[in-house]
Homo-oligomer: A and B are copies of this chain.
Amino acid sequence: RYGQIEAEDQIGAATGLAYTAGGGDTLSIEVSLAKGEGNLTLTGKLGDVMKESAKAAFSYIRSRSSELNIDPQFHENNDIHIHVPEGATPKDGPSAGITMATALISALTERKVYREVGMTGEITLRGRVLPVGGIKEKSMSAHRAGLSTIILPKDNEKDLEDVPESVREGLTFHFVSHLDEVLELALGE
């Protein structure tokens, strides 16, 4: 079922868009919580940049827990695991930053992620969304997978011209500069 849209809206899972050797692909980011003492585990053959990106997303959430309606103690009372299947495929780069942040916030607030939404963008410690590469390929894979909406960084607006007409018509594009806008678009009540 990889490369296909989720069957239902999910808690603790969000759909990213990856730029791979073979073009673009969709990517599930999964988050699990368990009673624990603040450990953050990152798996899925992730490279250093992607792991650092997860840590930036995590610190952003910790520093803004009250605005996000998350228990400020969540960190001390839970172990958190972020996993990105397929486990044998190497993955790297900062472009899953906003997807990891969204999946984490979904798990911590128990708000569902809309199944038809995909996204890509680097996140910073202040929640800003920075531009990434491969917009054309990522858009095509989102369309192929059956998504209806994709969220892209504001500074990638200029790359829309590279996306084939048919794909542009089949998808709704949102260009954002802060994670707050991502959450508004991707999370249900």
Residues of A within 8 A of B (CB): 1-2, 10, 12-13, 28, 30-36, 41, 43-45, 48-49, 52-53, 55-56, 59-60, 62-63, 65, 72-73, 75, 79, 81, 83, 85-88, 93-94, 97, 122, 124-126, 128, 130, 154-155, 177
Contact = CB atoms under 8 A, between A and B. Distances in A.
Contacts of A34: 59, 62-63, 65, 75
Contacts of A56: 43, 81, 83, 87
10 contacts: A13-B126, A32-B63, A34-B59, A34-B75, A56-B83, A85-B94, A85-B122, A86-B122, A88-B94, A88-B122
Contact of A45 (B13, B48, B72): B48
B130 A85 contact: yes
- Copies of this chain in its oligomeric complex: 6
B81 A86 contact: no
B62 A79 contact: yes
Nearest to A153: B1
A85 B32 contact: no
B94 A32 contact: no
A114 to B, nearest CB: 17
Given A63-B32, A86-B130, A93-B88, A45 B55 contact: no
B62 A32 contact: yes
B49 A130 contact: no
Contacts of A1: 128, 154-155, 177
B83 A94 contact: no
Nearest to A31: B125
